[in-house]
């Protein structure tokens, strides 16, 4: 059981931390909530104690004999601050310690994850920009806030990322404390996700079982590591990751156009979507009815191979990553087919995973082997898809330093 400290700042988004707390507790973690005095004006201690099953204190004097301002940080496996207000970000950056939470941050030697929430003007103020940069330079993971409705009638960048996203990144840090370095800053990463649909008639289509979870995980992890991310999402019923530009598409040709457009200035393109290999030659304009006779055969034509097109028209230094969802057969194993696909496509990296009932598609967890065109192979054990996303980002970052000179 991991020990997690959940710090809660004094912003209106404090109520959203209740869902994050519930997810952490249901995930089997021992959570101690440390709200600031201001946060208690939004959510009271009774709520935090009922959800966490632990006592709540916001000052250094409660249970002073146990020295909580030192012990909490020392014993924690992870400290999360959500919402992190501009005031808390500033105090943490400057080492101030005037309450239990800021004392805990100074004594913590575990991963620390900040999820900021504030008005746009506060987030974009030079002081906040400098404070966030200071924290990131020290190894603190600071998420970019989401855009949308803020307090009152205001809208803009500054919303707290949604609880499920913060939870997944928190679990990632518990599994891999080094998973979110700020090493993709200044890079533009394009990732496709989901499964394309090729229309047969107004209500039917040819499709696949891809949920888009893996591509969305890559988008969220890459954004947390500093990248500007464009997510081309094909029919994925998932919430937008915070600070990610989402382009929604349906069919393979639409996905192709969106990816090519976004890739024009991209440093990295990850083709995680399950793109249909074929589409109907023609689409019927009305619903096909049963007639009691054998239906007319559906004539198919090949869709363009988007990854191959990207390889052929790549920018200097651009890193291209493919995904191979494979099943073994009489002609070879999953890895055999993955290696053949890497050679055939000509990309830099190929993420190979086995698919089938209960595997990969639609599942929260995944396992894979990352193949490199230099002959390298890296096994990623079964675990949350964010864990594989971090491994993919590791492999990409290692290539970014060499692509320009190698080509």
Q: Are residues 63 and 109 in the same domain?
A: yes
Where the chain has pLDDT below 50, the residues are 403-407
At residue 406, the pLDDT reads: 34
Residues 9, 85, 30, 215, Cα dihedral to 10°: 150
Task: Specify whether 208 is catalytic.
Answer: yes
The CA distance from 91 to 123, in Å, is: 15
Q: Are residues 297 and 402 in the same domain?
A: yes
In a domain, 348, yes or no: yes
Number of domains in the chain: 2
In a domain, 180, yes or no: no
Q: Are residues 268 and 398 in the same domain?
A: yes
The CA distance from 386 to 368, in Å, is: 12
Question: What DSSP assignment string belongs to 332-369?
Answer: B-HHHHHHHHHHHH--SEEEEEE-BTTBSTT-SEEEEE
In a domain, 183, yes or no: no
The tokens describing 32, both together, are: 């101690």
The tokens describing 226, both together, are: 């500093």
Q: Is 191 within 8 Å of 262 (Cβ atoms)?
A: no
- Look at residues 116, 144, 175 and tell me which one is the last residue of a structural domain: 175
Q: Are residues 322 and 345 in the same domain?
A: yes
At residue 297, the pLDDT reads: 85
Q: Could you tell me what percent of the chain has a pLDDT over 70?
A: 94
At residue 205, the pLDDT reads: 92
- Per the structure, the complete domain to which residue 345 belongs is given by 188-406
In a domain, 120, yes or no: yes
Q: Are residues 151 and 207 in the same domain?
A: no
Q: Are residues 386 and 308 in the same domain?
A: yes
- Look at residues 145, 175, 205 and tell me which one is the last residue of a structural domain: 175
103-123 pLDDT, tens per residue? Answer: 999 999 999 999 999 999 999
The CA distance from 402 to 145, in Å, is: 32
In a domain, 136, yes or no: yes
In a domain, 181, yes or no: no
- Look at residues 151, 175, 199 and tell me which one is the last residue of a structural domain: 175
At residue 286, the pLDDT reads: 80
Q: HSE on the CB side for 339, CA within 13 Å? A: 12
At residue 326, the pLDDT reads: 79
Q: Is 249 within 8 Å of 215 (Cβ atoms)?
A: no
N- to C-terminal Cα distance for the chain?
Answer: 47
The CA distance from 397 to 390, in Å, is: 10
Residue 258 belongs to a domain with what CATH number? 3.40.50.10300
Residue 120 belongs to a domain with what CATH number? 3.40.50.1950
Q: Are residues 273 and 318 in the same domain?
A: yes
Angle ∠(125,145,229) on CA atoms, nearest 5: 110
State residue 324 phi and psi, 5-degree precision. -125, 105
The SS3 assignment for 90 reads helix
In a domain, 257, yes or no: yes
At residue 407, the pLDDT reads: 33
Q: Are residues 82 and 170 in the same domain?
A: yes
The CA distance from 307 to 256, in Å, is: 9
The tokens describing 306, both together, are: 């988007």
Dihedral of alpha carbons 85, 93, 175, 69, sign: negative
In a domain, 248, yes or no: yes
Cis peptide before 198 (omega within 30 of 0): no
Q: Are residues 120 and 223 in the same domain?
A: no
Q: Which of 131, 208, 235, 303 is catalytic?
A: 208
Q: Are residues 130 and 154 in the same domain?
A: yes
Q: Is 119 left (phi over 0), alpha (psi -120 to 50) or beta?
A: beta
Q: Are residues 148 and 192 in the same domain?
A: no
The CA distance from 403 to 399, in Å, is: 6
Q: Are residues 84 and 20 in the same domain?
A: yes
């Amino acid at each position: 059981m991991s020990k997690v400290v959940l710090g809660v700042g004094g912003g209106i988004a404090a109520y959203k931390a209740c869902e994050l707390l519930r997810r952490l507790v249901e995930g089997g973690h021992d959570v101690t909530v440390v709200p600031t005095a201001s946060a208690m004006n939004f959510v009271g201690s009774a709520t935090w104690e009922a959800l966490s099953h632990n006592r709540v204190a916001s000052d250094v004097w409660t249970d002073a004999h146990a020295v909580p301002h030192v012990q909490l940080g020392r014993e924690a496996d992870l400290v999360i601050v959500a919402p992190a207000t501009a005031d808390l970000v500033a105090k943490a950056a400057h080492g101030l310690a005037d309450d239990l939470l800021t004392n805990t941050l100074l004594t913590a030697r575990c991963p620390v994850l900040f999820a900021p929430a504030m008005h746009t003007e506060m987030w974009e103020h030079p002081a906040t920009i400098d404070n966030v940069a200071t924290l990131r330079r020290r190894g603190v993971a600071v998420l970019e806030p989401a855009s949308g409705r803020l307090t009152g009638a205001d809208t803009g960048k500054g919303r707290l990322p949604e609880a499920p996203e913060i939870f997944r990144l928190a679990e990632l840090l518990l599994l891999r404390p080094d998973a979110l370095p700020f090493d993709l800053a200044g890079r533009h990463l394009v990732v496709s996700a989901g499964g394309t649909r090729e229309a047969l008639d107004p209500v039917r289509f040819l499709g696949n079982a891809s949920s888009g979870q893996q591509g969305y995980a890559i988008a969220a992890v890459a954004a947390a590591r500093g990248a500007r991310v464009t997510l081309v999402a094909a029919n994925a019923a998932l919430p937008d990751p915070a600070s990610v530009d989402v382009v929604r598409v349906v069919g393979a040709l639409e996905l192709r156009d969106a990816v090519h457009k976004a890739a024009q200035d991209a440093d990295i393109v990850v083709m995680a979507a399950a793109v249909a290999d074929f589409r109907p030659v023609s689409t019927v304009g009305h619903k096909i009815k049963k007639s009691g006779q054998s239906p007319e055969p559906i004539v198919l034509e090949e869709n363009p191979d988007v990854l191959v097109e990207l390889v052929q028209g790549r920018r200097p230094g651009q890193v291209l990553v493919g995904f191979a969802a494979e099943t073994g057969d009489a002609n070879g194993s999953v890895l055999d087919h993955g290696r053949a696909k890497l050679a055939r496509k000509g990309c830099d990296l190929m993420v190979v995973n086995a698919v089938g009932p209960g595997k990969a598609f639609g599942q929260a967890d995944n396992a894979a082997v990352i193949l490199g065109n230099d002959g390298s192979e890296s096994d990623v054990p079964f675990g949350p898809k964010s864990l594989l996303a971090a491994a993919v980002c590791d492999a990409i970052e290692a290539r970014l330093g060499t692509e320009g000179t190698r080509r």
